[in-house]
Amino acid sequence: MIIRVKAFSVFTDVLGKELVLEIPGRETISLDELIDLLTKKYSELSKLLDKIEYILLVNGKRVDEKYILRNGDEVAILPPASGGL
């Protein structure tokens, strides 16, 4: 299966703007399993996720980490929006 990961803001320092991950032998994977794979591959990501809050979107919709990903899904990881009125 192939999953596209887009990173925003501080996450681009670790992941770059976009990754295309090929996960052989799987038809589905949970979002938390994907995050686990990413933190094992990118140790700095683990440290970053421990420090700041983050939002996960799949195909443009906010989901929780138990969401089941399928081939071709696009995952975005970004910090929460902040700012004034």
| Residue type present at position 19 | L
What mean pLDDT is reported for the chain? 92
pTM of the model: 0.89
Q: Which two tokens stand for residue 67?
A: 């969401």
Domain ranges of the chain: 2-76
Residue-wise pLDDT for 55-69, tens only, equals 999 999 999 889 999
The domain made up of 2-76 is a member of CATH 3.40.50.2300: no
The model's confidence at residue 82, banded by pLDDT at 50, 70 and 90, is low
22 pLDDT band (50/70/90 cuts)?
Answer: very high
First and final CA of the chain: distance in angstroms?
42
